[in-house]
Amino acid sequence: MTSLYEQMFSQSVNDPEAFWGEAAKAIDWVKTPTQVLDSSNPPFYRWFRGGVLNTCYNAVDRHVERGRADQAAIIYDSPVTGVVRTITYRELQGQVAQFGGLLRKLGVGKGDRVIIYMPMIPEAVIAMLSCARIGAVHSVVFGGFAPSELSTRINDAKPKVIVSASCGIEGKKVLPYKPMLDQAIDLSIHKPGHTVIYQRPQAEASMVAGRDVDWVEGAAAAAPAECVPVDATDPLYILYTSGTTGQPKGIVRDNGGHAVALTWTMKYMYNMQPGERFWAASDVGWVVGHSYICYGPLLYGCTTVMFEGKPVGTPDPGAFWRMISQHKIATLFTAPTAFRAIKREDPDGEFLKKYDLGGFRALFLAGERSDPDTLMWAETKLNVPVIDHWWQTETGWAISGNPLGICKFKVKYGSATKPLPGWDVRVLNAEQQQVPDGDIGAIVVKLPMPPGSLPTLWNADDRFLKSYMADYPGYYQTGDAGFIDEDGYISIMARTDDIINVAGHRLSTGGMEEVLSGHQSVAECAVIGVADQLKGQVPLGFLVLKAGVKKSHDEIVKEVVALVREKIGPVADFKRAVVVERLPKTRSGKILRGTMQKIADSVEYKCPATIDDPAILPEIAEALKSLGYAKSA
């Protein structure tokens, strides 16, 4: 007898029209799609052709109309300001309609772009929903991005209006946004007609007469906006991701496929029920924030939780446990790096003992590979399923994972479990041939990709083809490398360019990191390949130690070198490692291995715009110099 998962997966890849046509019934349509999948112009597949809907209506208004008006839609908790706010669906509807009215008053209409440059406050979600309400296309840029990076996005998206706040707060530091926004507009060729500024008490922004509009005053004076019907294939948002050319890539998300896919995942991936509380501890500037702070929970009628804080330091390593307990959160979705930070500060879980997590059901980890040691630590301390799942900005939702709403597969540590329905995942070699089970290769997805994934790049169809479709015709190239085992489990080992070639042997840096993270003194680690005249590349490890470790650094390095030799073998040639205080990361928690490699190899590099703290890079350079690398740093 086939399992429910097998039935659903089989139908999703063999008859996707039937599968997703059924899923689309969970959405309220102004006009039902006439064609579930338009395959007339591959690889530019389009979902729900002929359908008309409004995403904001599906995320807000329909819940007000059907008995959820007084349910919390958003819970905002800011330990950095000491503020907790609850916004009901009725209140959210009113605020979104008023702000949509302000945007409309400023000349924004269907198809126009609005850039949102905001901190983690409810107004960021309100701005996103307001754009969706009037048919505008939003592009959220992470609050605090450098003016030069913001200006490139302004020039590409050409917004009529930019929405921002007077400041963000990073830990204890107040970061004024308005001077950076003003500078970005000065640098830009395209000039927005207006900016709308939400004034926060921590730092008041100076306003430019005739251009800048106060959020509160402007929204209060506007007539509320109604929901504007849009085609399912019309864009909902643009989300920029880093490009190898230095020019960011504008990932496009359409309205229809996005609404259908995210609603489906809330039930079948995350096992949520409408009315329950879902917390994605991310930022609205990242794809996780789009999918699972703003849209997914609200489309499904859940309460979404917004957190303006850090996993440690606001005020302590018990911040996440306090949130779960206080707000009765059923499911948490965060990055592995958050749990590594908590584990490093509180390895025995002492802060966890202070809180009642009785209603907590599951932890989902994504954003970077979850090392087995951290995942097992979370399992042991929380006593709930801990799910490592894999997805990308481009896909919009999980490619693989343990779908708790369908079944619960046995956990294989280091694996992101099996592909979700809709994702026909293969592993290919450089000759575009499928590799045997267990062999590492390029992970690709057979076309068409399911609803909710990117249909193209903003005004860049040719770049879309070159970036994702050219190397493996008929497949989407994920850029990740890994393997599928004999049970169908997917293991993501590295980005394709993180597979290193040691004397002709292709080795995964992720596999080495898995060994290093198993050492009892190591809280976090990274492995890069550095240039070697004899062997082409050799691996180099970076170790961040747990709090309170008494052993010497030299002793720990010797032990991890021996561990890699034991677990992977002499072929890895792992002989070099250095202890550092911290690793350079993006604000979303991804370790900047590529930048570290360039520093080690004395290759010119640009400080990534997404870096959490640029001051870390000189520290890494000094550590590398101690080993004889980074000669020009």
CATH number of the domain where residue 555 is located: 3.30.300.30
Average pLDDT over residues 391-400: 96
Reply yes or no on whether the pLDDT at 586 is more than 60.
Answer: yes
Phi and psi at residue 557, to the nearest 5°:
-60, -45
Q: Is 548 left (phi over 0), alpha (psi -120 to 50) or beta?
A: left
435 and 571 share a domain? no
Same structural domain, 232 and 275? yes
**Is residue 322 domain-resident?**
no
* Mean pLDDT calculated for residue range 364-393: 92
Question: What average pLDDT does the segment 214-238 reach?
Answer: 98
Out of 94-108, 372-386, 406-420, 608-622, pick the least confident. 608-622
Mean pLDDT, residues 431-448 taken together: 94
The domain that holds 289 is classified in CATH as 3.40.50.12780
On whether both 36 and 100 belong to a single domain, the answer is yes
| Of 631 and 576, the one with more pLDDT | 576
Query: Average pLDDT in the 571-576 region?
Result: 86
- Asked whether residue 103 is assigned to any structural domain, the reply reads yes
Position with higher pLDDT, 595 vs 588: 595
Q: For residue 82, tell me if it sits in a domain.
A: yes
Same-domain check for residues 473 and 511: no
Distances (CA, A) of 28 to 94, 259, 260, 541: 20, 10, 10, 52
pLDDT of residue 7: 97
Query: Can you list the alpha helix ranges (DSSP code H) found in 334-425?
Result: 336-345, 372-382
Whether the per-residue pLDDT at 351 is higher than 80: the answer is yes
Residue 6 pLDDT more than 80? Answer: yes
Mean pLDDT of the chain: 93
| Separation of alpha carbons 539 and 537, rounded Å | 7
Whether 317 is covered by a domain: the verdict is no
Among 449, 482, 515, which residue terminates a domain? Answer: 482
- Judge if 477 and 528 occupy the same domain: no
Average pLDDT of the residues in 39-45 = 97
Angle between helices 4-14 and 16-23 (to 10 degrees): 110
Contacts of 130 (CB under 8 A, 6+ apart): 56, 96, 97, 99, 100, 102, 103, 225
Domain match, 393 and 527 both: no
Q: Give the 3-state secondary structure of residue 496.
A: helix
Q: Residue 594 has what pLDDT? A: 85
Mean pLDDT, residues 223-237 taken together: 98
Question: Which residue has better confidence, 481 or 301?
Answer: 301
Q: Would you state the pLDDT for residue 442?
A: 93
543 and 424 housed in the same domain: no
Residues 401 and 546 in one domain: no
- Assess whether 119 and 254 both reside in one domain: yes
Q: How far apart, in whole angstroms, are the C-alpha atoms of residue 598 and residue 618?
A: 13
Owning domain of residue 617:
506-625
Q: d(Cα 416, Cα 400) in Å, to the nearest integer?
A: 6
Could you give the number of structural domains in the chain? 2
Cα–Cα distance, 157 to 134 (Å, whole number)? 18
| Same domain? 73 vs 207 | yes
Per the CB < 8 A criterion, the answer to whether 27 and 263 are in contact is yes
Lowest average pLDDT, out of 208-212, 501-505, 555-559, goes to 501-505
- Judge whether 533 lies within some domain: yes
Question: Considering 439, 467, 482, which residue would you say is the last residue of a domain?
Answer: 482
Percent of the chain with pLDDT strictly greater than 90: 78
Please say if the pLDDT value at position 500 is more than 70: yes
Residues 468 and 551 occupy one common structural domain? no
- For residue 579, pLDDT over 70 is answered with yes
Residue by residue, DSSP assigns 245-302 as TSSPEEEEEEHHHHHHHHHHHHHHTS---TT-EEEE-S-TTSHHHIIIIIIHHHHTT-
pLDDT given for residue 246 in this prediction: 58
Measure the CA–CA gap between 195 and 6, rounded to whole angstroms: 50
Express each pLDDT in 412-437 by its tens digit: 999 999 999 999 999 999 889 999 99
Q: Is the pLDDT of residue 506 over 70?
A: no
Q: Of 482, 515, 538, at which residue does a domain stop?
A: 482
Q: Is the pLDDT of residue 504 over 70?
A: no
- pLDDT recorded at residue 587: 76
420 and 462 housed in the same domain: yes
